[in-house]
């Protein structure tokens, strides 16, 4: 984003998961289509379903079915989606471009994940991709308010001992940016995920990255821009991984 201030060295980094670190479109679409077909509906295309992602499982399913939140069908549809997805969360999932190098560049920093994905699907996905050990804290759907509520970001940073003003929040969706900005963090929007570029930019991230391949260089610039403050030690386990 032109004219944005240079970031300070982060005391912690919060990552979104779907569309930021992991390409999960195929598995999410398969779970939605399982629910649709099970309840007598026609399946949808992967990209059509991908456009519904970002606000939690219930919103995803309601949009896929085209029903309101209070429709009696929705509870059955969400149950069908969830039961399938919990055991198929990492069939087709893979790293997003640059994600592995980005996490390597973050070595030594306290890292957290804040996702609107249910915890029952989040942890198996992290395990399957070998990500689980990299994060001290995971805040998932069902643990508290969903993004864009900033309390999700604060809940991840508190056990890391990091003030949001000293943290970076990285995500591919407007929900991530809105939550990070409201919490007071430095926000990075990553293109190529679930959200359209226009929607991501409209959320006002401090920086927009073409992919996570660009994160290591940004960290290097932040380290050179000023004193590299010591990272605060974690104060507790919080909603720890595992």
Q: Answer whether CATH 1.10.150 is correct for domain 25-86.
A: yes
Give the CA distances from residue 186 to residues 26, 153, 192, in Å, rounded to whole numbers and listed in that order. 30, 12, 20
How many Cα atoms occupy the beta-carbon half-sphere of 68 within 13 Å?
2
For 198, residues 6+ apart whose C-beta sits below 8 A from its C-beta are none
CA 86 to chain centroid, in Å, comes to: 17
Domain ranges of the chain: 12-23+93-225, 25-86
Q: Residues of the chain whose pLDDT is less than 70? A: 1-5, 226-242
Residue 3, token pair as written in the block = 């004219």
Residue 89 backbone dihedrals phi, psi, to 5 degrees: -80, -15
The residues annotated with a catalytic role in the active site are 16
Distance CA(235)–CA(131), nearest Å, equals 22
% of the chain beyond a pLDDT of 70: 91
Bridge partners of residue 207, in order along the sequence = 188
pLDDT digits (tens, 9 = 90+) for 151-186: 999 999 999 999 999 999 999 999 999 999 999 999
Length in residues, the chain: 242
Non-local (6+) Cβ contacts of 80 within 8 A are: 34, 35, 38, 39
The predicted-structure confidence for 73-82, as pLDDT tens digits, reads as follows 999 999 999 9
- Based on its alpha-carbon atoms, the radius of gyration of the chain, rounded to whole angstroms, reads 18
- One of 3.60.15.10, 3.40.50.1000, 3.40.50.620, 3.40.50.300 is the CATH number of 12-23+93-225, namely 3.40.50.1000
Common-topology check for domains 12-23+93-225 and 25-86: no
Say what the pLDDT of residue 229 is.
47
């Amino acid at each position: 984003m032109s004219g944005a201030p240079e970031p300070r060295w982060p005391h912690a980094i919060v990552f979104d998961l779907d569309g930021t670190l992991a390409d999960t479109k195929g598995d999410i679409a398969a779970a939605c289509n399982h629910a649709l077909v099970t309840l007598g509906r026609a399946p949808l295309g992967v990209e059509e379903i991908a456009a519904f992602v970002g606000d939690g499982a219930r919103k995803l399913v309601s949009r896929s079915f085209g029903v309101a939140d209070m429709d009696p069908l929705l509870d059955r549809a969400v149950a069908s989606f969830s039961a399938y997805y919990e055991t198929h969360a990492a069939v087709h999932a893979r790293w997003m471009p640059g994600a592995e190098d980005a996490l390597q560049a973050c070595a030594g920093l306290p890292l957290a994940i804040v996702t609107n994905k249910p915890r029952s699907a989040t942890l198996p996905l992290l395990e399957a991709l070998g990500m689980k050990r990299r994060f001290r804290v995971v805040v998932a759907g069902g643990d508290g308010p969903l993004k864009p509520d900033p309390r999700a970001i604060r809940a991840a940073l508190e056990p890391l001992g990091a003030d949001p003003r000293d943290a970076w929040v990285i995500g591919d969706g407007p929900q991530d940016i809105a939550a990070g900005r409201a919490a007071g963090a430095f926000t990075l929007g990553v293109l190529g995920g679930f959200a359209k570029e226009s929607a991501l930019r409209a959320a006002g991230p401090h920086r927009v990255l073409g992919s996570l391949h660009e994160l290591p260089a940004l960290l290097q610039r932040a380290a050179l821009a000023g004193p590299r403050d010591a990272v605060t030690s974690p104060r507790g386990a919080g909603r720890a991984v595992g």
